[in-house]
């Protein structure tokens, strides 16, 4: 039986198909033959992605930064070209971030915003198309497509004018590109420290308070500053720079390096009995909790109150129930309207809310306060409240006036 030979048309189609397959260029081949993408070619070669991008059967979209774009990012990152290429495989996620997992001609990109997954795990790009303009938005930068639809086998290449970054180039960049951190950005600018936070080589961890008190999502991490106002990390591990070099954690409270009120200072210092006395008296609680309060507080320790109760033969409950005695004690410990650190004190009479006399005695580094019935030594001076609007000096004894002592004696006789 004679073998049937294929027709000329079939032979032509088979040959044509083989020629087309063999002549299809891979992404890497197209990059290598495009002078305006020479630096990108060098970068990909340094990362070990050559084999991946040399596959002509690959069906992806590469947003390819031009030579000018790569030179521009060197300034943004504060590195040289040699230094960047020397990072080798550390750059792999950066270049993977430029590859969308679907092959798209410019005409196939829908109008508006489209989020597309990249070869970088868990990282998407937002493609925005408006008329003929296409913008690619990444975490740390935005780029415009300046030349579209280079064909590389089943893939497409669009040349862009900026490098797409899966991190922010600086802390200042993170603040400016994150609307929820605009208040912090304003504070940084007002404090004239923008240059510090704009340094791409800065290595730091920043706990960044959001504009709102609660930010959705995040890690269960609690930070306690000096002020003891705890803040919870709501968005963790925002990367800054290659590596990353720095990290930002968004928190739900402003962390203060000082106490926000006298009550806050007392609570953090463990002065629980003093706080109980203030609460029982009822007159000064609001003032001592007010961040705007101006004054100097002489704050007895819990041990000082225990010693007072022992000396007077009272229980804590008895003391807290005697409003007149509480008033005489508290008034002698409040210097109103003036915030005095130890260095500003002089030996002599001190003005308090009480009509009873109180003297300050400065001997070298030792500061004592002398009342009619007791003498107290400052054991923890200059506890600053709200940027020195108020000052607390922790003392080792409760100050008692004649009137106060008489009231205590009368109380114990009843």
d(CA 23, CA 21): 5
DSSP 344: G
**Helix or strand (DSSP H, E) at 74:** helix 67-77
Q: Report how far apart, in Å, the C-alpha atoms of 184 and of each of 77, 139, 174, 212, 255 are.
A: 23, 19, 11, 11, 12
pLDDT at 132: 87
d(CA 159, CA 340): 65
Whether 294 contacts 385, CB under 8 Å: no
CATH value of 17-160 in 1.10.10.10, 2.30.180.10, 3.20.20.70, 1.10.3720.10: 2.30.180.10
- Return the closest-CA partner of residue 294 out of 336, 261, 252: 336
Q: For residue range 297-327, what is the model confidence (pLDDT) as tens digits?
A: 999 999 999 999 998 888 999 999 988 889 8
Query: Which CATH code for domain 262-413?
Result: 2.30.180.10
Residue 132 tokens, joined: 């003929």
Q: For residue range 12-67, what is the model confidence (pLDDT) as tens digits?
A: 333 333 333 445 899 999 999 999 999 999 999 999 899 999 998 999 999 999 99
- Convert 255-319 into a string of H (helix), E (strand) and C (coil): CCCCECCHHHHHHHCCCHHHHHHHHHHCCCHHHHCCCCCCEEEEEECHHHHHHHHHHHCCCHHHH
Whether 93 contacts 166, CB under 8 Å: yes
Unique residue bearing structure tokens 């909790």: 289
Domain ranges in the chain with CATH number 2.30.180.10: 17-160, 262-413
Whether 252 contacts 184, CB under 8 Å: no
pLDDT at 252: 85
pLDDT at 23: 53
d(CA 373, CA 398): 10
Q: What is the DSSP string of 19-68?
A: HHHHHPPPHHHHHHT-GGGHHHHHHHHHHT-HHHHT-TT---EEEEE-HH
pLDDT at 223: 56
- Sites in the chain below the pLDDT cut of 50: 1-22, 213-219, 403-406, 409-414
């Amino acid at each position: 039986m004679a073998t049937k030979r294929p027709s000329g048309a079939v032979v032509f189609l088979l040959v044509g198909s083989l020629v087309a397959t063999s002549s299809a260029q891979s992404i890497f081949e197209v990059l290598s033959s495009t002078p305006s993408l020479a630096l990108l070619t060098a970068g990909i070669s340094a990362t070990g992605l050559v084999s991946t991008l040399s596959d002509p059967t690959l069906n992806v979209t590469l947003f390819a930064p031009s030579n000018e774009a790569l030179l521009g990012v060197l300034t943004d990152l504060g590195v040289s070209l040699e230094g960047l290429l020397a990072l080798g495989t550390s750059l792999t996620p950066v270049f993977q971030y430029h590859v969308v997992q679907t092959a798209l001609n410019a005409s196939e990109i829908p109008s508006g915003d489209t989020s597309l997954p990249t070869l970088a795990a868990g990282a998407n790009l937002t493609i925005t198309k408006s008329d003929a303009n296409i913008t690619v938005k990444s975490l740390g930068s935005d780029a415009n497509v300046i030349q579209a639809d280079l064909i590389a086998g089943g893939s497409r290449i669009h040349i862009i004018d900026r490098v797409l970054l899966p991190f922010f180039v600086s802390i200042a960049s993170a603040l400016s590109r994150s609307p929820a951190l605009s208040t912090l950005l304003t504070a940084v600018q007002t404090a004239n420290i923008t240059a510090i936070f704009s340094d791409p080589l800065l290595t730091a961890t920043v706990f960044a308070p959001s504009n709102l008190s609660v930010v959705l999502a995040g890690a269960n991490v609690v930070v306690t500053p000096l002020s003891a106002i705890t803040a919870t990390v709501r968005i963790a591990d925002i990367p800054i720079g290659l590596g990353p070099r720095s990290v930002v954690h968004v928190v739900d409270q402003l962390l203060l390096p000082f106490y926000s009120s006298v009550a806050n200072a007392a609570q953090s210092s463990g002065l629980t009995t003093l706080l109980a006395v203030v609460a029982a008296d009822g007159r000064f609680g609001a003032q001592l909790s007010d961040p705007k309060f101006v004054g100097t507080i002489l704050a007895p320790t819990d041990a000082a109150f225990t010693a007072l109760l022992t000396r007077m033969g009272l229980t804590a409950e008895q003391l807290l129930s005697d409003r007149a005695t509480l008033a005489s004690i508290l008034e002698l410990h409040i210097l109103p309207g003036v915030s005095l650190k130890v260095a500003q004190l002089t030996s002599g009479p001190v003005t308090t809310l009480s009509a009873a006399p109180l003297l300050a005695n400065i001997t070298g580094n030792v500061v004592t306060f002398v009342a009619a019935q007791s003498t107290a030594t400052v054991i923890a001076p200059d506890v600053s409240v709200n940027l020195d609007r108020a000052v607390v000096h922790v003392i080792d004894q409760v100050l008692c006036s004649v009137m106060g002592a008489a009231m205590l004696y009368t109380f114990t006789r009843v």
